[in-house]
Amino acid sequence: MKTLIQNVTVGGGQTDLLLADGVVAAVGPGLSADDATVLDATGLRALPGLVDLHTHLREPGREDAETVESGTRSAARGGYTSVFAMANTLPVADTAGVVEQVQRLGEEAGWVDVRPVGAVTVGLAGQQLAELGAMADSRAAVRVFSDDGHCVSDAVLMRRALEYVKAFDGVIAQHAEEPRLTEGAQMNEGTVSAVLGLRGWPSVAEEAVIARDVLLADHVGSRLHVCHLSTRGSVEIVRWAKQRGVQVTAEVTPHHLLLTDELVRGYDPVYKVNPPLRTQADVEAVREGLADGTIDIVATDHAPHPVEAKDCEWSAAAMGMTGLETALSVVQHTMVDTGLMGWDTLVDRMSSAPARIGRLAGHGLPLEVGNPANLVLVDPAARWTVDPAAMATAGRNSPFRGMELPGKVVATFLRGRPTVLDSELVTP
């Protein structure tokens, strides 16, 4: 299969791209190929395919919320060519068998490359290390381990996990949440929670764990990744740790780049998420941190739920938001269109760096001759209104519903094969 993409913007200039045999076969102006499908990409920008280090695909066990098939269709629609599937499935992805099952389901679906994340502890219970080595050695070749949804709160266990994964260049992705400080917490602790009578979720519950973990990572010389960082204080701690030379990386979600706890005033559970939506000052701090590289990547924390899990009163509702199909637009809106960062930096934060942190070969690479043809074509000038019902994900819990956003994914290619064309999925 050959595709010739003409007049596309790559980096700072306009060029043509020839995709053949799964790789970028040629780059340059005025390319031609008789047997290629020709795509006029005037006005479009080509980026390396996006990589999401933090996706909840829910399968096995919660297929009512999402399946690997529906979740990866959603990812392709969002411009992704690879996603890391979080371990909080049923059963938990804490054995070689489960991670291989997830990997196989991803291959069968064929929309994006699925890399399973392995649980740090058995059953996410925070008591005993899972068989991290077996998962690393399995066909799924797990390199990212996380109890996401739960914090590895035991300092000794966290230290052991950090030490243990050094044997196979793994990384512990920590959901930073001190559990005693967030018992029963419903939303960000502050002036809004005080008015609404919802139990507050203090910033310090996140910051205290990050502070502890960067010191542990420093102490044992291991790689730590901070999941969905959300507060100004967390940014400051990571910035300090990086200056100190700690091997720490961090992610922020699109929703924490845009939304604040003021939205909770209507008690609509679509805004209920873990960590909670914070204040405008926090939003500004995470944007600044993402721009200056303190925060390494944008990760969606795509968390689909069945309708009934959100169509209820606030305290009964599940936490989480979908995000795969809106991430690129939200990042363009909050970071690029505001002048905080350019497209090259966006590529780093949404493709190259997550692939690097996850030790994912073949993704996040520049669109250069010989590299795998994993790429996305986006129309930065397009504007669209978010309609959850029109999304490929099974989840309808998008906090961006009804919002007009810039940037539209026009096409996605996985190893040269289109998964999305004209913004519609292309059956593999």
Partner 1 sequence: MRHLLSAADLDRDAAVHVLDVAEEMAATQRRVVKKLPTLRGRTVVNLFFEDSTRTRTSFEAAAKRLSADVINFSAKGSSVSKGESLKDTALTLEAMGADAVVVRHGSSGAPHRLAHAGWTRGAVVNAGDGTHEHPTQALLDAYTMRRHLRGGTGDLAGAKVVVVGDVLHSRVARSNVLLLHTLGAHVTLVAPPTLLPVGVEAWPCETSHDLDATLLRGEPDAVMMLRVQAERMDASKGSFFPSAREYSRRYGLGRERLGMLPDDTIVMHPGPMNRGLEISAEAADSVRSTIVEQVGNGVAVRMAVLYLLLAGELPGGDA
Does residue number 267 form part of the binding site for partner 1 (CB under 8 A)? yes
Three-state secondary-structure class, residue 427: coil
Q: Which of 296, 301, 348, 379 is catalytic?
A: 301
Q: What pairs with residue 58 in β-bridges? A: none
Does residue number 194 form part of the binding site for partner 1 (CB under 8 A)? yes
Q: Which is nearer to partner 1, 107 or 308 (CB)?
A: 308
For residues 145 and 358, is the Cβ–Cβ distance under 8 A?
A: no
To the query of whether residue 301 is one of the catalytic residues in this protein, the response is yes
> What b-and-e string marks burial along 300-320, b requiring 16 or more CB atoms within 10 Å of the CB?
bbbbbbbeebbeeebeebbbb
Rounded to 10 deg, the angle between the 96-109 and 68-77 helix axes is 50
Residues 289-328 contacting partner 1, CB under 8 A: 308, 311-316
**Of 61, 57, 82, 60, which is closest to residue 71 (Cα–Cα)?**
57
Three-state secondary-structure class, residue 257: helix
Query: Which one of the spans 184-192, 327-335, 362-370, 385-393 is the region binding partner 1 (CB under 8 A)?
Result: 184-192
**Contact with partner 1 (CB under 8 A) among 3, 193, 260, 352:** 193
| Site size toward partner 1, by CB under 8 A | 27
Smallest distance from the beta carbon of 43 to partner 1, in angstroms?
Answer: 41
CA-CA distance, 280 to 343, in Å (whole number)?
24
Query: Which one of the spans 7-15, 88-96, 194-202, 350-358 is the region binding partner 1 (CB under 8 A)?
Result: 194-202
**Contact with partner 1 (CB under 8 A) among 109, 124, 192, 346:** 192
The answer to whether 188 is annotated as binding is no
The answer to whether 397 is annotated as binding is no
Tallying the residues shown for the chain, one arrives at 428
Does residue number 191 form part of the binding site for partner 1 (CB under 8 A)? yes
Cβ-Cβ contacts under 8 Å for 251 (sequence gap 6 or more): 53, 54, 225, 226, 227, 228, 229, 295, 296, 297, 298, 299, 354
Query: Which one of the spans 29-37, 195-203, 280-288, 374-382 is the region binding partner 1 (CB under 8 A)?
Result: 195-203
Residues taking part in catalysis: 301
Annotated binding site for substrate: 56-58, 88, 274, 305
Interface positions with partner 1 (CB under 8 A): 180, 183-184, 186, 189-200, 202, 266-268, 308, 311-316
Annotated binding site: 54, 56-58, 88, 148, 175, 228, 274, 301, 305
